[in-house]
Structure 1
Amino acid sequence: MSSRNLIASIPVVTRLYCPKGLAMDLIKNSDTDDPSTNSNYELLNSAYVWQNGNVTNVEEDLEKGGSGYKSEEFSDQSTMNFLFFFYDAFKAEGDEQINLFLQIYEEYNELSQTYFKQSRWPAPEVVSHYFSNQDSHHLFLVLYKELYYRHIHTSFEPTFQERLSSFENYCNFFHCILSSKEAIKLELPHAWLWDIIDEFLYQFRSFSRRSKELNLDQDGTTCTSLSPQQWNVHIVLNVLHSLVEKSNINAQLQAYREGQDHQHVEAVAGGCGSLMLYKMLGYFSLIGLCRVHCLLGDYHQALNLLENVEINRKISAINSLLVLSLQLSS
């Protein structure tokens, strides 16, 4: 699906790993030949993946140049282990899943510092090859791409195409969240959810500045004219507003301010807003909207968006931290 179709499918609200070194070992029993449906499907210290009806050893496949991919794509065994564990986390639920994703997010940051200071993570098409027939393939790949392009923006100068590909991937992610008939039951850590919104806005600003600097591409065509829908401010605003509306976060915050009990807040939240994924994305989108309107110079609207956020309490906490830091430094 093209980014334009993805954008059109989002409801319009406004115009304006376990310990390191683990990988998946597919253990089959007599009941089924598909390890992914087996109750004995466990995490062990090896590198196998269920692919096209066969158990494939990824290390051997890479060494032999299987499927056209070179072993250099995976700089270390830890990278493969990380990817297998990342995918397997989608099979967990509730607190178990959020704990797994918290470990994965921490591991991603550590591996980025250890192995990918001077190089990119494995390309998404390489990673996709080994999980192409899995049920959770799409969402797994979307989240992997989010980390992949974020690392590029953090550590390198992204190409124009990489900036556009990152935008399209964000559209894919928000499309999954906003357009699903049923609420997505995905438990991501709050820090990861915040970083998704924060990085989405950072890349929007970065693209806006960069597209002004790059007047012409190699073909002599104006860069911005190639993709008028990509990183458009109205699309960014629409996504953030849609997340706020989907989560009913304003109604929830108002109920909290009025001192309503938990049952009332849950009733106000609705089916999606009661899930932490939607609730926190909605809350962080409020902050994101405030930031965007400040960039646009509309400070009045920026303050209006925070009407239900208890700013005084947060300012008090920030002031306390500043006082404490001054005392420690003196």
Structure 2
Amino acid sequence: MQNNNNNRKGGNKQQQGGNNNQQRQGGNKNANYNKQQGGQQGGNQQGGNQQKGRKIPTNVESFPITLTPAQVQQHQQYQQSMQNNQSGQFQSSYLPPAQQLFTPVINYFVNFFTNFKSQSHSDILVSYDNFFKSCETYYSNCALPTIDVFLAVLGDKYEDTFTDRFFVLLYREIYYRYYFALVSQPNIGICVESWRNYSAIFDTLLEAATPNEVEIDLPNAWLWDIVDEFVYQYHTFAKFKLKKVDVDQLTEIWDTTSVIRYLYLIIKKSQIFSANSSRFENATDDFCSHPVYKMLGYYSVISLVRVQCLLGDYTLALKTLELIDMGKKAMYTYVTACHITLYYYLGFAYLMSRKYNEATKALNTILVSVASKTKSQNFQSDHNEKKIDKMYALLAICQALYPNKIDENVNNTLKEKFGDKLLKLQKGDISVYEELYSYSSPRCINAVNPHLSGHSSNALDAHRLQMALFLEEVKQQSLLTTIRSYITLYSTISIQKLAGLLQIDPEELRIKLTCYKHKNVNVLGKGETKYHNQVDIDFYIDQDMIHIDNRLYAKETDSFINSILKFEGSLTPQYNWM
């Protein structure tokens, strides 16, 4: 969670926000209970919620919370299942409700609400962080107190204005986000409630006739967290539907069409691609002049790319990314988690599109950037570190399929993390490819309900399908790396001789060479439509002879010769005649 660089009322706060956001990124996912860690906790809980939490400080005043009849009934069922050692149904779907309200949490919440109404970015940011940290301390094994509990505490401070009502929606979003972080598969009721709350947030913003009706201005990090969590919960529910048939009737809850529709509507409402703006980052008309709409629209584009990758539509994902300015000072750099997420899915989309050269460049760029920031600011959370490890795994796959020059520090780290696996990858070990792909790739999902008559859920598992397609591609290229290593040694070689070295049939080698040419010719970059040879070594076959053109060595030779001629000219003696 980072500060907003787009304060509507002053450029100074914009700059301040950009500086503050980097400093506090480290606390973001810890306060947010990072999703991966939360999922693991849910699976390791005894009864879903007996993981070791932080010890609550002693001598802290607290007040009992009156539970609703539904909460009491569900909690009794949970306790009974724990006593009978039948905690399976609660293993990863239920969090006990909060039963106490602690004085420090009350103070942080009241301060949070007060600063939200003041619309001071720096104050909102501090309160946002402090409230989450207090929740980590006092509610590590249960859900947060509901908004009704806190509204009773606020009393007359709650004035039922637009700002106050919108804060209630945002707190509920935080409540469900916290719930999803602590359990791996929240129950259907929580999923439905969270969807309806997101719908209320987005509908409120979409129904505004003018920007002035929306009297709020949130930090960039909070806006990113909202959109990022929206897609995360959709992804979680989609995986949940793969295992449950009894959710078929919930066609409009976390439906793919509905999720994409909201993202498109937010982008359209933000007017960041208006005809009057050649670069939407600099647009100042209508809703685009409002920082909440502007940044939500921008982050929705990145989240849309994520959804398209999860659905396996990598071509559309790369096409969508053409809308994003990939410069060093682009808006995605304001929030570190957004920066990492964007390049992770960019690299994955390139990899699955067989654009290994582009994938390597993208992954190398973000890993260099992250390494430099880590040394100076130490902003990374556990979530970001895990995503970075996944990008190194993707880079290892790219380097095995298409070796390319990368940053020296990145290369050293890559060898430290996956040095032993790199050798196996280069030898074409399919099991290692499968292992790294399973670890590093996002879990793809189906766009529609997978439960069709006559098919099992495993047969229609999108993640298994994408892995099978990837591994089939790897098998087709299994001999290409070896062929490349041989042809780099020659300028001409006969098919018979190369086939002897490879110990395969000459006709089979001719097929492999054709495959080699095909696999390494692809569309270059995001916006170009012409095909380009990615490799630094090209060749053609004339009768039974292979003629090799080593472009890499040719470039180095030309550069060396030009340098010699240049220095020869500078060493020519000059005589000054008097």
TM-score, length of structure 1 as denominator length: 0.67
The answer to whether the aligner puts 1:170 opposite 2:193 as a matched pair is no
**C-alpha distance in 2 between matches for 1:312 and 1:189:** 22
1:310 to 304, 325, 338: 325
Output one character per residue of 1:71-106: Cα deviation in whole Å (capped at 9) or x when no partner.
x7443111111221222224314xxx2222211221
Question: Contact 2:112 / 2:124 at 8 angstroms: preserved in 1?
Answer: yes
Superposed displacement of residue 305, structure 1: 1.4
One-letter identity of the residue aligned with 1:304: K
Question: Contact 2:271 / 2:286 at 8 angstroms: preserved in 1?
Answer: no
One-letter identity of the residue aligned with 1:86: F
One-letter identity of the residue aligned with 2:105: T
Per the alignment, residue 160 of structure 1 pairs with 188
Per the alignment, residue 19 of structure 1 pairs with none
Per the alignment, residue 138 of structure 1 pairs with 165
Unmatched runs of 5 consecutive residues or more in structure 2: 1-60, 73-97, 329-342, 344-361, 375-408, 417-578
The answer to whether the aligner puts 1:75 opposite 2:101 as a matched pair is yes
**C-alpha distance in 2 between matches for 1:323 and 1:84:** 38
Superposed displacement of residue 253, structure 1: 11
Q: Number of residues paired by the alignment?
A: 252
1:198 to 215, 228, 243: 228
Distance 1:308 1:322, change over 3 A: same
2:242 to 212, 221, 235: 212
One-letter identity of the residue aligned with 1:176: T
Distance 1:253 1:206, change over 3 A: farther
Equivalences for residues 1-330 of structure 1 within 5 A: 73-93=99-119, 97-131=120-154, 134-135=160-161, 136-156=163-183, 157-183=185-211, 184-215=214-245, 222-225=246-249, 227-251=250-274, 255-256=278-279, 265-266=283-284, 270-311=285-326, 313=328, 315=362, 317-321=365-369, 324=372, 326=409
**C-alpha distance in 2 between matches for 1:277 and 1:236:** 19
Question: Contact 2:267 / 2:301 at 8 angstroms: preserved in 1?
Answer: yes
One-letter identity of the residue aligned with 1:190: N
Superposed displacement of residue 285, structure 1: 0.3
**C-alpha distance in 2 between matches for 1:127 and 1:118:** 19
Distance 1:91 1:195, change over 3 A: closer
Between the two structures, name the one with larger relative contact order (CA 8 Å, sep ≥ 6): 1
One-letter identity of the residue aligned with 1:206: T
Identity of matched residues, %: 27
Question: Contact 1:79 / 1:111 at 8 angstroms: preserved in 2?
Answer: yes
Per the alignment, residue 219 of structure 1 pairs with none
Aligned-pair Cα RMSD in Å: 3.3
TM-score, length of structure 2 as denominator length: 0.40
Output one character per residue of 1:199-251: Cα deviation in whole Å (capped at 9) or x when no partner.
10010010111122122xxxxxx2231x2211011111111011111112234
Superposed displacement of residue 171, structure 1: 0.5
Distance 1:252 1:287, change over 3 A: farther
**C-alpha distance in 2 between matches for 1:100 and 1:110:** 15
